[in-house]
Amino acid sequence: MFYKINLIFSLISIISFFISWIFNCIFESQLINSIYSFSKLCVISFYFIVLLIRIFYRDKTTSKLSNSFFDIFVIIFILTDNALIIFPSNIRCLNLEYLLIAARIFYIRRHPPTNVRLMRYPERSVIISYAATVFYGALLLSLPFSRQPNVSVPFIDAFFISTSASCITGLASVDISTTFSLIGQIIICILVQLGGIGIMIFSVIIAFTFSKHFSLEETRAASTDINESDISSIQKIIPQIILITFIFEGIGFVLLFLKFITIFSLPKALYYAMFHSVSAFCNAGYSLFPDNLMQFYNSPLTIFTISFLIISGGLGFHVIHNTFSYIKERMKHKRMYKRKALSETSKIVLSGTVFQLLAGTYLFYALEHGNTLKDLSTPVQYLTAFFQSVTLRSAGFNTVDFSQLTHGTQIIMLIFMFIGTGPGSTGGGIKITSFVILCAAVYSYIKEKKQTVLFHKAVRSEIVTKVFVSFFYSIGMLFFGLFLLALSAPQIPVSDLLLETVSAFATVGVSTGITPQLNIIGKLILILLMFAGKVGTLTLFNAVTSKSNNTKIEYPSANINVG
């Protein structure tokens, strides 16, 4: 269904492009030129989604037009943007790449791939859903009504903001409070909400609305998106996720409104409270204030409300539900044997979160006491240190200037950002559970234990292997991204680039302010890092790599010296 809808919109975009192109050649009108420019973006965006689907779900057609070299040729035309000077100018102005795209789309429409069922492969479904959301969001943000009057937004910046919002990162190449209009900011808020809850959750809800049932393929895709291993319970989990999200965001909305109503008018206070509540619970870190939350550094109500939302969103839906169920059972049954115990995941996430918050608060205060905190009173210093400890794990809000932090503080930030929050949460990083299992596995090896044990229970060997693979995938992507970013921006210190790289991959959003200084290549690198960090390294690599057969072949052992 999604594939057919995308093809229909592709055809509509192509037709509108050629009609506006013809009228633009005859008449000189700003409206026609705007329609012409927007339709060009639509054609490229919808073609990209079709191409992505065809890469993951290759058809078996044998025509020359189905050859992958045709798509590569079209992409070269798009990237060069009619820069092939071997053609005369009157031929180059015909937009040859769009003619090729039109031929491609019409051919695919007449010869669609067979058995294209997106939900059959959950990892690929998640990637395509997020990619489609990013591109459609970029299209909406590039429209005139999404930006302030007399403000131009290049498509790369609209693409960057859409990716950052959908991946709940919070990095911004432009100031969203002064660049985008009310409609544009609402679009960003919707993208943040979609990314926070999970795009596949909304896809499954929409499918359920029409079909009145959850298919197995839709259930697997949704469970992959929210990192839920128990597929059988996903039908019960989805309504709980929606309910938990709106309850916490509603609480945050009320508390923030009580503060904002003392500063702004009623409509503005309502809107600001809604936007920042969604942004905080989804761990996005977007703020409508040019200085983020620096003007509220001494407001306990604002700081604790935002912190409460960030921590709640970073726990994960499974942990929140399991904790509330445990508390409910504990109050209902006083005898120990009747109580429902916390799951191992909840124990790790809750204890790890408390440790991170306490350690982060102490380290930030100790390292910045004589630097960024020196002009503040002692209570405000501790309040500021606590808030930075909360936000640097995933959210990206700030009440101090991160560009003035010491190198020691930045290193601590890198560690906390890389660890991240709980699995299935609105936060990023490699997740607390993965880091704890990683440490437990290393400890078991040092103590020469055969099993990795946590809370008197053994961790399955396949889980340990998955954690190590995910860890090295993440390290590899970070170093590769930092290398490319350093090549694209040699004028920026490597320490700032490293913080930007980890912040993008861990979907945190903290920055020393270098994001607007990056060129197109640098922004594209951050876009890829944010996307990979959101969908997960294992999901990404499982989607793009082919599975080998499971034939059980035992090879002879090799004795290799290590260490």
The per-residue DSSP string of 366-378 comes to HHHTTTTTTTS-H
pTM above 0.85, yes or no: no
User: SS in 3 state form for 298-317?
Assistant: CCHHHHHHHHHHHHHHHHCH
**Helix H or strand E segment including 483:** helix 461-488
Instruction: With a cut of 90, say whether residue 103 has pLDDT above it.
Output: no
Sign of the C-alpha dihedral, residues 53, 218, 13, 133?
A: negative
Q: Are residues 60 and 135 in the same domain?
A: no
End residue of a domain, out of 82, 116, 150: 116
Is 300 inside a domain boundary? no
pLDDT tens digits, residue range 259-302? 999 999 999 999 999 999 999 998 888 889 888 888 898 889 99
Is 1 inside a domain boundary? yes
Confidence at 229, pLDDT banded by 50, 70, 90: low
Q: Are residues 20 and 68 in the same domain?
A: yes
Alpha carbon 9 to chain centroid, angstroms: 25
Is 552 inside a domain boundary? no
Is 282 inside a domain boundary? no
Q: Are residues 62 and 133 in the same domain?
A: no
Taking alpha carbons only, the member of 160, 156, 162, 164 closest to residue 184 is 162
Q: Are residues 79 and 97 in the same domain?
A: yes
Confidence at 92, pLDDT banded by 50, 70, 90: very low
Is 394 inside a domain boundary? yes
What angle do the packed helices 520-535 and 537-544 form, to 10 degrees? 100
Q: Are residues 86 and 133 in the same domain?
A: no
Quick one: pLDDT at residue 563? 61
Question: Which one of 65-69, 99-103, 131-135, 339-343 scores highest in mean pLDDT?
Answer: 131-135
Q: Are residues 489 and 359 in the same domain?
A: yes
pLDDT tens digits, residue range 104-152? 666 665 555 554 455 456 667 777 778 878 888 888 888 788 888 888 8
| CA atoms of 429 and 479, how far apart (whole Å) | 15
Structural domain of residue 128, as residue ranges?
118-225
Quick one: pLDDT at residue 82? 43
Is 464 inside a domain boundary? yes
Q: Are residues 134 and 219 in the same domain?
A: yes
Q: Are residues 473 and 489 in the same domain?
A: yes
Q: Are residues 55 and 191 in the same domain?
A: no
| CA atoms of 430 and 90, how far apart (whole Å) | 53
| CA atoms of 203 and 74, how far apart (whole Å) | 30
Mean pLDDT of the chain: 78
Alpha carbon 306 to chain centroid, angstroms: 20
Q: Are residues 93 and 147 in the same domain?
A: no
End residue of a domain, out of 175, 196, 225: 225
Confidence at 69, pLDDT banded by 50, 70, 90: low
Confidence at 431, pLDDT banded by 50, 70, 90: confident
Quick one: pLDDT at residue 363? 92
End residue of a domain, out of 85, 100, 116: 116
Instruction: With a cut of 70, say whether residue 193 has pLDDT above it.
Output: yes
Is 7 inside a domain boundary? yes
Quick one: pLDDT at residue 180? 92
Is 258 inside a domain boundary? no
Q: Are residues 320 and 451 in the same domain?
A: yes
Please, is 457 exposed, middle or buried when counting C-beta atoms within 10 Å of its C-beta (0-12, 13-18, 19+)?
A: exposed
Cα-only R_g, the chain: 25
Sign of the C-alpha dihedral, residues 246, 247, 252, 253?
A: positive
Any alpha helices (H) in 57-150, and if so which ranges?
A: 68-80, 89-92, 96-110, 122-141
| CA atoms of 437 and 461, how far apart (whole Å) | 11
Q: DSSP string spanning 209-254? A: HHHSS--HHHHHHHHHHTT-S-GGGHHHHHHHHHHHHHHHHHHHHH
Total domains, the chain:
3
Mean pLDDT in residue range 453-466: 85
CB 173 within 8 A of CB 539: no
In the chain, the percentage of residues whose pLDDT exceeds 90 is 20
| CA atoms of 184 and 46, how far apart (whole Å) | 21
Beta bridge partners of residue 452, listed in sequence order? 459
Quick one: pLDDT at residue 95? 61
Q: Are residues 177 and 189 in the same domain?
A: yes
